[in-house]
């Protein structure tokens, strides 16, 4: 089965630019990520349009609420027919387990992954919350919790990938943003890794936005990255 490793982040304010970009890509070569901005602006209709084009969708809404509410949100997201959804691991074991049960009871269960610590949180931000661990310790702790609760994987930075691959085994999905091909603009990302290095470190899927969406030829950029990671999956 075709299992494209690149998930293109459709970080657009509305349906018109998102669909225009999708039309320039191919579902054989990538999946698409729809996040809070685009989904809030367009709703499920956009997902239907993208899926009609053959694309599989990662609906990146990062649910975080009491267990029942999160489970119902996951159930609703699963009913949209998307390929992957996510929740915040900081919601705790009961929330993660409720989400996992809701997803596995759905007719076409999407992959369910967790966000561990937001990569925007530095050591001092975490300390300010009263958490005594380092960001890396928290990431491992939350990834293990997600795995224990039966989730399929986590979103993690490329820097955390090798450690999590070692600690969580080969079946756990590691979905990695902060990817920049050599010589690409960093934009607002700081700690980045090339597609090859991230795959070699153990990433399952690479989330890539602007290096593809802002390229003068997005399809060519996507093809070039796929070429770079060929054989590394």
Question: Cα–Cα distance between 8 and 37 in angstroms, integer?
Answer: 15
Site for ligand C5P contains 9 (CB under 6 A): yes
Considering only 24-32, 38-46, 63-71, 208-216, which stretch makes contact with ligand C5P by CB under 6 A? 208-216
Nearest CA among 67, 63, 56, 51 for reference residue 112: 63
**From the CB of 107, what's the least distance to ligand C5P, in Å?**
28
Q: Which two tokens stand for residue 216?
A: 């003068």
Among 42, 70, 116, 189, binds ligand C5P (CB under 6 A): 189
Question: Cα–Cα distance between 5 and 21 in angstroms, integer?
Answer: 18
Instruction: State the distance between the two ends of the chain, measured CA to CA, in whole angstroms.
Output: 14
Nearest CA among 99, 75, 79, 76 for reference residue 87: 99
Among 119, 147, 173, 204, binds ligand C5P (CB under 6 A): 119
- Count residues binding ligand C5P (CB under 6 A): 14
Question: Cα–Cα distance between 189 and 195 in angstroms, integer?
Answer: 14
**From the CB of 155, what's the least distance to ligand C5P, in Å?**
6
Lay out the site mask for ligand C5P across 46-85 (x = CB under 6 A, - = otherwise): ----------------------------------------
Give the interface with ligand C5P as residue ranges (CB under 6 A): 9, 11, 35, 118-119, 155, 177-178, 187, 189, 207-210
């Amino acid at each position: 089965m075709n299992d494209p490793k690149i998930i293109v982040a459709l970080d657009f304010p509305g349906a018109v630019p998102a669909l225009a970009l999708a039309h320039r890509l191919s579902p054989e070569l990538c999946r698409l990520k729809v996040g809070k901005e685009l989904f809030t602006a367009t709703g499920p209709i956009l997902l239907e349009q993208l899926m009609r084009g053959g694309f599989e969708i990662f609906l990146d809404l990062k649910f975080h609420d009491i267990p029942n509410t999160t489970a119902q949100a996951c159930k609703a997201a699963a009913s949209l027919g998307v390929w992957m959804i996510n929740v915040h691991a900081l919601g705790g074991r009961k929330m993660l387990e409720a989400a996992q049960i809701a997803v596995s009871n759905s007719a076409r269960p999407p992959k369910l992954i967790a966000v561990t610590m937001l990569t925007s949180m530095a050591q001092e931000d975490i300390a300010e919350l009263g958490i005594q661990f380092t960001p890396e310790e928290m990431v491992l702790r939350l990834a293990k919790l997600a795995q224990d609760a039966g989730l399929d994987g986590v979103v993690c930075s490329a820097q955390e990938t090798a450690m999590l691959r070692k600690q969580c085994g080969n079946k756990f999905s590691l979905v990695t943003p902060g990817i920049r091909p050599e010589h690409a603009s960093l934009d607002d990302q700081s700690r980045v890794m090339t597609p090859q290095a991230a795959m070699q470190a153990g990433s399952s899927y690479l989330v890539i936005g602007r290096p593809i969406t802002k390229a003068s030829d997005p399809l060519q950029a996507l093809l070039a990255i796929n070429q770079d990671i060929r054989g590394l999956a």
